[in-house]
Amino acid sequence: MKSAKHHTSIPHSRPTLGHEEIQFVSEVIGSGHIAQGAIVSRFEQALAKNAGIKGAVACSSGTSALHLTLLAMEIRSGDEVIFPSYVCSALLNAVRYVGATPVLAEINPYTWNIDPEDVKKRLTHRTKAIIVPHLFGLAADLNQLISLGVPVIEDCAQAVGATCDGKNVGSLGFAAIFSFYATKVITTGEGGMVLSNSQDLLNRIRDLREYDQKSTLRVRYNYKMTDIQASMGLAQLDRLQSFIRKRRSIAQQYYKGFDSLPFQLPLRDDGHIYYRYVIILEEDSGPQILALAKKGIECARPVYMPLHRYLKTRGYRRTEQIWKKSLSIPIYPSLTDDDVNRIIDSVVEVLGELIS
């Protein structure tokens, strides 16, 4: 008979929260100042310092951070913005908020990040920005993209703490956006941030972020973060390095455990933080996601639907293939050794059936 604990499901994602977050949040609530204030500024400075960037502006989400960045860059109707099809729809929404035209690019089949060669082919005189997600925690290769001469916005929503040739993600492009949604590497429940070395850009974003006490009637937003959220963010940032160590250690156990499986595993890279651990099968991963759910292991396709499908655009063969065959298995710091072993055993059993 199976032990009782095997009846509880292991979720695909889960935030890692503890007494540190409770203490920091309690202090803010006790202080009586809960809206955007000094703690938000502290969180901004701490994240900017962590990435080696001059300044930051906290926002209500990664989407609002990207929206304000595009607005502050004066990107509008008639302009084109390039980003990969293989990413969540938040990017498509933000580009549409400002009325610009989304131009989707293919991915590299090994890194699953945006393919610079494909970006090059899609450049026009209207291209005003390239948004580069560091997907699943692996830094995209930015050198070639930056050399194209179009401003690069790094999307670090899945990659806080990741590095590329020893350099922090978020420190190489014109601006970088982050998300602190509940399932992200560090969380504030909902939340986001823009980092940049351009004080001018940050000042414009700060102005657009709130509407009150302004002498002109420009369209502005309420996209602020609260001190309650920022206090949780500070506690999480204190724990970032230990979170990353744990993620990397679980990833190493997975590489070892899946050694015998003939499937594509995440690219091994010292700067990878393994926000997701994705396995690419040789066929549609739907049946395996269901089979693992029956064993109490919640898996998913890590991108819900590639953007070219929403836009009904043809092409994107690589994106289509990777998306269909992708299987993301749980990886986060609060997994216990028992959880990790159970995940490895179940994945090997279910995927093993594909090759027997």
Ligand X SMILES: Cc1ncc(COP(=O)(O)O)c(C=O)c1O
Residue with smaller CB distance to ligand X, 88 or 307: 88
Per CB under 6 A, does 127 bind ligand X?
A: no
Q: In whole angstroms, give the CA distance from residue 86 to residue 105.
A: 8
For residue 194, give the nearest of 212, 173, 211, 214 by alpha carbon.
173
Residue with smaller CB distance to ligand X, 178 or 258: 178
Instruction: Out of 56, 72, 87, 225, point to the residue binding ligand X (CB under 6 A).
Output: 87
Stretch that binds ligand X, among 44-52, 60-68, 96-104, 276-284 (CB under 6 A): 60-68
Tell me how far, at minimum, the Cβ of 93 lies from ligand X, in Å. 9
Q: In whole angstroms, give the CA distance from residue 152 to residue 79.
A: 15
Tell me how far, at minimum, the Cβ of 267 lies from ligand X, in Å. 17
Residue with smaller CB distance to ligand X, 114 or 281: 114
Phi-psi region of 170 (alpha: psi -120 to 50; beta: other; left: phi over 0): left
Tokens representing 82 are: 């390039």
Per CB under 6 A, does 155 bind ligand X?
A: yes
For residue 136, give the nearest of 118, 113, 115, 114 by alpha carbon.
113
Q: Give the x-and-dash track for 238-277 against ligand X (CB under 6 A).
A: ----------------------------------------
Q: Is 153 helix (H, G, I), strand (E, B) or coil?
A: strand
Interface of this chain with ligand X, residues 158 to 217, rule: CB under 6 A: 158, 179, 181, 192
Per CB under 6 A, does 62 bind ligand X?
A: yes
Per CB under 6 A, does 133 bind ligand X?
A: yes
Q: Cβ neighbours of residue 19 under 8 Å, at least 6 residues apart?
A: none
- Beta bridge partners, 83, equal 104
Tell me how far, at minimum, the Cβ of 122 lies from ligand X, in Å. 19
DSSP secondary structure string, 171-213? SSSSEEEEE-BTTSSS--BS-EEEEES-HHHHHHHHHHH--SS
Tell me how far, at minimum, the Cβ of 278 lies from ligand X, in Å. 13
Cβ atoms of 184 and 158 closer than 8 Å: yes
Residue with smaller CB distance to ligand X, 112 or 258: 112
Per CB under 6 A, does 63 bind ligand X?
A: yes
- # chain residues binding ligand X, by CB under 6 A: 14
Q: How many CB atoms lie within 10 A of CB 256?
A: 9
For residue 13, give the nearest of 143, 193, 187 by alpha carbon.
187
Stretch that binds ligand X, among 88-96, 142-150, 197-205, 291-299 (CB under 6 A): 88-96
Stretch that binds ligand X, among 84-92, 120-128, 265-273, 279-287 (CB under 6 A): 84-92
Q: Cβ neighbours of residue 252 under 8 Å, at least 6 residues apart?
A: none
Residue with smaller CB distance to ligand X, 56 or 350: 56
The footprint of ligand X (CB under 6 A) covers: 61-63, 87-88, 90-91, 133, 155, 157-158, 179, 181, 192
